[in-house]
Amino acid sequence: MFPVRSHLKEDFIENIIKGRRSIRSFSSKSAPQDLILKLIDAARWAPSAHNAQPWRFIIIADPEVKRRLAEAMASDWLRDLEKNHVPPEDSRKLVEGSIKRFSEAPVLIVAAITMREMHKYPDRRRQRFEHLMATQSLAAAIQNILLAAHAEGLGACWFCAPLFCQETVRKILKMPRDIEPQALITVGYPAESPEPPPRKPLKEIAFKDYWGANL
């Protein structure tokens, strides 16, 4: 699918990485299934702990399924907003925006993890680390999806909403109990071209040899 390094233009990777944006507004043009499958294929090639490849994906293009999922997740979110004492009118606007965002996106990709092939330990400490490694592995796969989408002329945005309503997502999508929804990615042809957000300078995030030492 992807060209080997010798065939790449020198700045190809940099342009893809720096050109990617979180796209929240999409055109009405449908995203072909073959392109969506290319994104999932890109995800397969991400690094993973123990090469367990603990990621699982559900591609949703059916309008009715998108609507049901969006409304169910929004219902859970509304309860959380009420617990946070968010004013009802503000809560209503947030929830309506969420339903619109997810139900109107051309394609949704629900990203999940499974612990089936991760290492098993008797103590909770190492179990927790294994779970974290599975989550980190999925994050790498999602980044591949986002970069591949941009390379193919698509836009995408990564949301963590399923983390807050895992049981609801499982129920709507008929997922097994041992599959843990972690994220939702909206995909389609972009209807916006946002400016790049500011990035922290290298000297603020990286050090030489020891913490705090200048590069």
pTM metric for this prediction: 0.93
| Cross-strand bridge partners of residue 152 | none
- Cα gap 103→172, rounded to integer Å: 14
Cβ contact 160:181 at 8 Å: no
| Cross-strand bridge partners of residue 113 | 55, 180
- Cα gap 138→54, rounded to integer Å: 7
Instruction: Please report the domains of the chain, with CATH numbers, ordered by start residue.
Output: 23-190 (3.40.109.10)
Reading the chain (215 residues) residue by residue, the pLDDT tens digits are: 555 555 667 788 999 999 999 999 999 999 999 999 999 999 999 999 999 999 999 999 999 999 999 999 999 999 999 999 999 999 999 999 999 999 999 999 999 999 999 999 999 999 999 999 999 999 999 999 999 999 999 999 999 999 999 999 999 999 999 999 999 999 999 999 999 999 999 999 999 999 999 99
- Cα gap 164→155, rounded to integer Å: 24
Give the Cβ contact number of residue 81 at 10 Å.
18
Segments in the chain forming alpha helices (H): 12-19, 33-44, 63-83, 88-104, 124-151, 166-173, 202-205
